[in-house]
């Protein structure tokens, strides 16, 4: 959560920081702030509650703040309510923390993460004469740095190292010291941070889009490492103070991919980018009509010996895991369990030593998923990550990595990352099935040929998006919506329901259609919208029967099915058709109208599609 940006160079820092924070506002938008150094002058801190535009107006888009070194932050509130007082940056001195102006404090900093033992640390600091103006754990850690800085040798490196040893939790810290005006210090544990170098200037951020237009060459700072940033240089250290050598990584994304490109919202742009993202992901591992997993590192002997697959993920990534479970078990005949990452490690899972743990995360930084990965590795289980961000924590720590090629995804509600994760799941299932002799080369070739048609078929669905816009507008006053389906269709319902509730704030639930009569049907009233997904031929008639049960109790029915199932119009009040495909791949098509439904319903209700309340893009805290 939260967005961090830092800059030190020759140009004015504040406009660069505001520009970077604008690219990170999907990580938090409760409040924002800047701290700017101008040579040896004291740091000037400006903070505001609310969206970043308020801070931009307050500082004349940064032009009112003079200085070439600074740090900035956009907040997703964890400790303490959204307010100007709780906004970052925080300072080590005893001040109100609410206003603007120069601060006498030795340490000024911003933070992403959660300090778990902040109460204990706060009590310790109170005994040493510190006072606190905010409700945040961040103020505690900034003052702890100040405490160690003054107690020992007034050395930033040693003060930060001692703080890192003392703190429990997750953090990305970005700090400036009054006595070191030409430096920014950073430290990291379990929260993402990248450092870019270009043209004698240095950038730091919590995610790639913030610095993409300035630098394509970045360093990834490792866990429990720190770095000193100066103009055009970054020097890395471990906790013992030993210098660490790092290699630069080139980011392949282009800067334009992180812009709206003429669309009203990032979400709609990213919905339309799905054909390209899906095609790129397919082409990355399918060559000459064969699947090539050499870049992932999985060998055939390993695949043959897999006894059990555990797919671990959160949110929409979990939903792609549910689809993959159906496809993998049907094609490859390998038992698959899909686990919520937030529950996985706490229930002390029993893992087969010949199993494979597949973790799925767009950002590669999802805290619960990262913790699940580490648990699997601690138990000696082989791990495979499906991630979208090169060099992310999960990508670096997993034994094998399948990179999806979605490009930067800015909207909080995922669309193209979800679609590329589905593709990764299909391809793994197909190759595992071939290697384990569950399908032959001819069947694989048929599946590959069909898979290649998915991008074009998504484009076909998008050509008729105005029909979904019309229908969503008619549902603008909906209070409760239910999604029903069976098999893969149920997995798609989970995602469709999540899309609706997270951006339109309409209460929605997804149910396996056969479960309706076990209690849920009591919630159906006159006019209740029930959305049924019916793409699996063997389950089609059974789901139609469930629709009839809902209709007899007053439900208004939307049916989503493939072309050819025209009899559905006798039951549904509104029908959406998608192109035919191999039914293993149907989720890639049926999810698109549901994405559009959530989007247009949110727009009709006058909501901010890209920044839904209380949510942030990357959940990097537990």
Q: Which residues are catalytic?
A: 2, 617
CA separation for the pair 296, 313 (Å, rounded) = 19
Helix (H) or strand (E) holding 107: strand 107-115
Output Rg (C-alpha) for the chain, integer angstroms.
Answer: 25
Beta-sheet strand order (sheet of 90-91): 90-91, 107-115, 169-177, 184-189, 225-230, 233-237, 243-244
Of 596, 592, 593, which Cα lies nearest the Cα of 604?
A: 596
CA separation for the pair 267, 601 (Å, rounded) = 13
CA separation for the pair 541, 76 (Å, rounded) = 46
For strand 507-512 and strand 480-485, is the pairing parallel, antiparallel, or unpaired?
Answer: parallel
SS3 188: strand
Q: Residue for token digits 């906004």?
A: 87
CA separation for the pair 232, 202 (Å, rounded) = 5
| Nearest-5° Cα angle at 216, 215 to 221 | 90
Instruction: Report the sign of the C-alpha dihedral through residues 432, 437, 441, 445, in that order.
Output: negative
Q: What is the largest CA-CA distance in the chain?
A: 80
Of 468, 491, 496, 463, which Cα lies nearest the Cα of 481?
A: 496
CA separation for the pair 58, 65 (Å, rounded) = 10
* DSSP character at residue 359: E
Q: Tokens for 58, please give them.
A: 């307050």
| Nearest-5° Cα angle at 443, 437 to 445 | 115
CA separation for the pair 125, 151 (Å, rounded) = 12
């Amino acid at each position: 959560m939260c967005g961090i940006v830092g800059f030190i160079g020759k140009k004015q820092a504040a406009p660069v920081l505001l520009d970077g924070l604008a690219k990170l506002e999907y990580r938090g938008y409760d409040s924002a702030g800047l701290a700017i150094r101008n040579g040896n002058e004291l740091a000037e801190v400006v903070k505001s509650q609310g969206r970043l535009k308020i801070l931009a107006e307050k500082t004349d888009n940064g032009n009112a703040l003079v200085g070439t070194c600074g740090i900035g932050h956009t907040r997703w509130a964890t400790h303490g309510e959204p307010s100007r007082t709780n906004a970052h940056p925080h300072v080590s001195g005893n001040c109100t923390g609410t206003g603007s102006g120069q601060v006498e404090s030795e340490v000024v900093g911003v933070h992403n993460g959660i300090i778990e033992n902040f109460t204990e640390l706060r009590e310790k600091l109170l005994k040493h004469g510190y006072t606190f103006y905010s409700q945040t754990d961040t103020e505690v850690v900034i003052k702890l740095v100040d405490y160690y800085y003054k107690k020992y040798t007034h050395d930033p490196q040693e003060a930060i190292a001692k703080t890192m040893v003392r703190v429990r939790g997750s953090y990305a810290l970005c700090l400036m010291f009054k006595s070191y005006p030409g430096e920014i210090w950073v430290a990291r544990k379990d929260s993402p941070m990248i450092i870019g170098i270009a043209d004698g200037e240095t950038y730091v951020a919590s995610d790639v889009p913030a610095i993409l237009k300035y630098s394509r060459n970045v360093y990834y700072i490792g866990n429990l490492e720190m770095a000193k940033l100066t103009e055009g240089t970054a020097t890395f250290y471990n906790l013992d103070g030993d210098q660490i050598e790092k290699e630069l990584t080139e980011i392949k994304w282009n800067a334009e991919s992180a812009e709206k490109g003429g669309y009203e919202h990032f979400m709609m742009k990213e919905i339309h980018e799905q054909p390209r993202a899906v095609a790129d992901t397919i082409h990355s591992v399918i060559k000459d009509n064969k699947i090539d997993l050499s870049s992932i590192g999985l060998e055939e002997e390993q695949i043959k010996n897999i006894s059990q697959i555990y797919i671990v993920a959160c949110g929409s990534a979990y939903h792609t895991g549910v689809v993959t479970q159906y496809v993998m078990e049907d094609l490859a005949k390998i038992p698959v369990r899909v686990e919520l990452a937030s529950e996985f490690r706490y229930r002390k899972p029993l893992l087969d030593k010949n199993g494979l743990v597949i973790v799925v995360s767009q950002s590669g930084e999802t805290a619960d998923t990262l913790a699940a990965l580490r648990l699997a590795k601690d138990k000696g289980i082989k791990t495979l990550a499906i991630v979208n961000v090169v060099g992310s924590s999960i990508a670096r720590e997993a034994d094998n990595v399948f990179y999806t090629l979605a490009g930067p995804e800015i909207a909080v509600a995922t669309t193209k990352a979800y679609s590329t994760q589905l593709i990764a799941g299909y391809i793994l299932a197909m190759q595992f099935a071939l290697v384990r002799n569950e399908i032959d080369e001819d069947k694989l070739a048929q599946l590959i040929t069909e898979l290649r048609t998915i991008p074009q078929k998504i484009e076909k669905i998008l050509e008729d998006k105005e029909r979904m816009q019309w229908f969503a507008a008619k549902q603008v006053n909906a209070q409760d919506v239910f999604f029903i389906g069976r098999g893969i269709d149920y997995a798609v319902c989970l995602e469709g329901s999540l899309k609706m509730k997270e951006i339109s704030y309409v209460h929605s639930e997804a149910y396996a259609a056969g479960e309706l009569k076990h209690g849920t049907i009591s919630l159906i009233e006159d006019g209740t919208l029930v959305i049924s997904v019916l793409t699996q031929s063997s389950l089609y008639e059974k789901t139609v029967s469930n629709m009839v049960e809902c209709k007899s109790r007053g439900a208004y029915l939307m049916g989503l099915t493939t072309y050819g199932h025209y009899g559905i119009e006798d039951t549904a009040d509104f029908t959406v058709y998608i192109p035919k495909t191999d039914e293993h791949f149907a989720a890639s098509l049926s999810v698109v109208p549901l994405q559009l439904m959530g989007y247009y319903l949110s727009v009709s209700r006058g909501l901010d599609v890209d920044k839904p309340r209380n949510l942030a893009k990357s959940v990097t805290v537990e």
